[in-house]
A and B are shown apart, each in its own frame.
Chain A
Amino acid sequence: QVQLVQSGAELKNPGASVKVSCKSSGYTFTNYFVHWVRQAPGQGLQWMGTINPDGGATSYARELQGRVNMTRDTSTNTVYMELRSLRSDDTSVYFCARGNQPSWYSYFQWWGQGTLVTVSS
């Protein structure tokens, strides 16, 4: 069955970078876009960006442009989300989610378990 397994929790200092992985299984990796969504403690859901694993094209939320980079490794069926210049307000749970079709416009059908990133000195 479809599974997205994310890397473990991270504790980072302000100004550092974090790279979260999302390993896919149970389907053809390049056939579905992968999205990243984050959730600050006690807050709602915020879309961060999307990557097309077939070719690697990306689209990012405007407020994260310049700080976020999404990549993929087709040999391991893994998508990565790197966030740089971390601030305390980046403390969140980060989720990857698979879309329902090979399109930018897809709903989030399958989700990873989430990765807590804490930014604190």
Chain B
Amino acid sequence: DIQMTQSPSSLSVSVGDRVTITCQASQDIRNYLNWYQQKPGKAPKLLIYDVSNLETRVSSRFSGSGSGTYFTFTISSLQPEDIATYYCQQYNYLPYTFGQGTKVEIK
């Protein structure tokens, strides 16, 4: 199975700060990498698909980059409504696998 190593596991930031999360795959997953946001008690929400494509109606302060095995997710200017846990996910191979999640909190 493909292991997705996401870091950090949590971070505490101020409103307006830039947030960067990384995700490393145990082998080449080409560009089949997605990012989801999950708020407490809610279903995950797709933010970015195929490394860098913004899902419809998702804020442009979210972005993604990378290729092969190393990927990054960025929030350009953190807003209070961005408080959530973020997951990367690969779908180049079955079984689909997720990173362990990054919990973003307000400092």
A108 to B34, CA, bound (A): 9
Q: Closest approach, in angstroms, between the C-beta of A112 and any C-beta of chain B?
A: 7
Interface size class of A (residues with CB under 8 A): 20 to 34
Are B100 and A47 in touch, CB under 8 angstroms? Answer: no
The size class of the interface chain B forms with chain A is: 20 to 34
| A113, B43: Cα distance in complex, Å | 6
On whether A95 and B43 interact (CB within 8 A), knowing A44-B87, A107-B34, A107-B49, the answer reads yes
How far, in whole Å, are A112 and B94 apart by their CA atoms in the complex? 22
Write the chain A residue with the least CB distance to B49.
A107
For the complex, is A100 an interface residue (Cβ under 8 Å from B)? Answer: yes
Main secondary structure of the interface of B (DSSP, over half): loop
Say whether A62 contacts B95, CB under 8 Å.
yes
Contact of A45 among B32, B44, B45, B92 (CB under 8 A): B44
Selected contact of B91 from candidates A44, A95, A107, A111, CB within 8 Å: A107
Contact indicator B87/A111 (Cβ below 8 Å):
no
Q: A44-B100, A44-B101 are in contact. Are A107 and B46 (CB under 8 A)?
A: yes
Report B-chain residues with C-beta under 8 Å of the C-beta of A121: none
What are 30 A-to-B residue pairs whose CB atoms are below 8 Å?
A37-B44, A44-B87, A44-B99, A44-B101, A45-B44, A45-B89, A45-B98, A47-B95, A47-B97, A47-B98, A59-B94, A62-B95, A97-B43, A97-B44, A100-B49, A105-B32, A105-B91, A105-B92, A106-B91, A107-B46, A107-B50, A107-B91, A108-B36, A108-B46, A109-B46, A109-B49, A109-B55, A111-B43, A111-B44, A112-B43
A residues at B contact (CB < 8 Å): 35, 37, 44-47, 59, 61-62, 95, 97, 100, 104-109, 111-114
